[in-house]
């Protein structure tokens, strides 16, 4: 079997060039995120408290859903490269505008900053990966996605560390302005791939998408509902952990620049944890351990972390931050990879429908619903929050049981 370097060496020249710029785009997009998220997060807490965090998240998700819908329509007219540059440029302008107005004393502009940082990273990463999926063959993707994910994680680690040091030495505003340069670097990198030919694959994709997502999963509806339920429960558990971290963080870290520096470190360690899972845990777990046990392992790991960390260690920023980092790292890596395996036995059309329902719709709907509920009831009691998480984990385990039972009934062939 060819190693990775032999595989890359045999790629056509244009594939090497475009592949390089795709890697660079992905690196810069994730590299920029700790700068943007830490600086805008610190600015948000300068004006508001964790009481408003849930409502800000809800507003951001609703805005993201609308922007994804309209950008999909716009992409068909102007193409992915012009759309990417347009959305990235709009992000830079919006961040500058909201920042200027907030500095001028218009407090609600902090919501604009919060929403923009939530939206831009989803759009830039989604379009980059969608383009990669259309440009490279499946065999090429199998070889390239691992290194691509590692490049992104390294960007997140470096970005988080640089954010922390820059915030302490030069302040939050410097971090914020530097993030805009990094976003522009991602736009320039992606635009270098504009001559890549993806017309045939795009036409094939359009044919697949002519079938509605609901019709495409006819006959496997129960299987898809169970995957979607697990995705929704995961988002509830992680969102509450995120909320608990923000409640403690706001009380313990008091100044804007220290908040920016601390958040930078959090994002750096999260990406470091993700990289560890990607390089060490996933290659072993998905090859040598039956996927059923991997699926059961994740909620049990979350349960230990929540009871031991967010329960017994509630109130300690280090403990709560540690739990939050591990939950996010596992979600980005092990859970994401194992979830993709569950789509494997489906047909191409069924995969499109299932992934659209779970990844595009249910994922965001679950986060929108829980953030809306938390903003409405303003639940901050750690015991209540942990109880909700444990109940969701129990339901998660039940869904796994029925998921594999349904898989057996449908005679799906997986390593379980």
Domains and CATH numbers, the chain: 12-193 (1.20.1250.20), 215-416 (1.20.1250.20)
For position 219, what pLDDT does the model report?
78
pLDDT of 146 > 80? The answer is no
Does 40 or 80 have the greater pLDDT score?
Answer: 40
List Cβ<8 Å contacts ≥24 apart for 198-205. 198/131, 198/134, 198/135, 201/134, 201/135, 202/134, 205/134
> Is-contact 140 41, C-beta < 8 A?
no
For position 212, what pLDDT does the model report?
57
Q: How far apart (Å, rounded) are the C-alpha atoms in residues 381 and 20?
A: 48
For position 160, what pLDDT does the model report?
95
Region 4-31: mean pLDDT is: 78
End-to-end CA distance of the chain: 26
For position 416, what pLDDT does the model report?
43
User: Which of 59-68, 200-209, 255-264, 390-399 shows the lowest per-residue confidence on average (mean pLDDT)?
Assistant: 200-209
Q: What percent of the chain has pLDDT over 90?
A: 42
In this structure, is the dihedral angle defined by the CA atoms of residues 70, 74, 75 and 81, taken in order, positive or negative?
A: negative
Model confidence at 289, pLDDT cuts 50, 70, 90, reads: confident
pLDDT of 128 > 80? The answer is yes
Does 270 or 129 have the greater pLDDT score?
Answer: 270
- Alpha-carbon distance values, 323 to 34, 277, 328, 329 (Å): 19, 15, 9, 10
For position 287, what pLDDT does the model report?
73
pLDDT of 6 > 70? The answer is no
Model confidence at 308, pLDDT cuts 50, 70, 90, reads: confident
Q: How far apart (Å, rounded) are the C-alpha atoms in residues 190 and 288?
A: 37
Tokens coding 349: 């059309």
For position 10, what pLDDT does the model report?
61
pLDDT of 387 > 50? The answer is yes
Region 139-156: mean pLDDT is: 78
């Amino acid at each position: 079997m060819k190693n990775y370097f032999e595989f890359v060496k045999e790629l056509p020249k244009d594939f090497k060039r475009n592949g390089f710029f795709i890697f660079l785009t992905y690196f810069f997009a994730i590299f920029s995120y700790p700068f943007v998220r830490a600086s805008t997060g610190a600015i948000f807490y300068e004006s508001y408290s964790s009481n408003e965090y849930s409502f800000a998240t809800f507003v951001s998700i609703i805005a993201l859903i609308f922007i994804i819908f309209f950008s999909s329509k716009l992409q068909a007219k102007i193409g992915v490269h012009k759309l990417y540059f347009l959305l990235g440029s709009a992000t830079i302008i919006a961040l500058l505008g909201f920042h200027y107005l907030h500095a001028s004393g218009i407090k609600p502009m902090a919501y604009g900053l919060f929403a923009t940082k939530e939206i831009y990273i989803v759009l830039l990463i989604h379009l980059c990966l969608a383009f990669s999926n259309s440009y490279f063959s499946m065999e090429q993707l199998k070889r390239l996605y691992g290194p691509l994910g590692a490049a992104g994680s390294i960007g997140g680690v470096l970005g988080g560390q640089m954010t922390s040091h820059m915030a302490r030495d030069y302040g939050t505003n410097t971090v914020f302005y530097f993030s805009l340069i990094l976003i522009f670097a991602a736009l320039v990198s992606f635009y270098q791939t504009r001559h890549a030919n993806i017309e045939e694959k795009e036409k094939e994709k359009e044919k697949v998408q002519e079938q509605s997502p609901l019709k495409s999963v006819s006959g496997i509806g129960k299987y898809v509902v169970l995957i979607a339920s697990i995705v929704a429960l995961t988002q509830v558990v992680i969102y509450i952990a995120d909320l608990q971290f923000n409640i403690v963080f706001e009380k313990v870290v008091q100044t804007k620049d220290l908040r920016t520096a601390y958040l930078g470190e959090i994002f750096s360690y999260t990406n470091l944890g993700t990289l560890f899972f990607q390089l060490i845990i996933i290659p072993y777990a998905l090859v040598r351990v039956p996927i059923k046990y991997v699926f059961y392992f994740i909620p049990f790991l979350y349960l230990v972390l929540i009871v031991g960390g967010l329960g017994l260690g509630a109130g300690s920023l280090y403990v709560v931050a540690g739990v939050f980092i591990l939950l996010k790292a596992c979600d980005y890596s092990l859970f994401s990879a194992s979830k993709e395996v569950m789509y494997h036995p489906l047909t191409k059309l069924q995969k499109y429908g299932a992934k659209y329902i779970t990844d595009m719709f249910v994922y965001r709907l679950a986060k929108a619903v829980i953030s809306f509920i938390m903003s409405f009831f303003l639940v901050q009691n750690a015991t209540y929050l942990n109880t909700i998480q444990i109940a969701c984990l129990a339901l998660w385990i039940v869904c796994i049981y029925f998921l594999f039972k349904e898989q057996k009934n449908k005679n799906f062939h997986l390593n379980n």
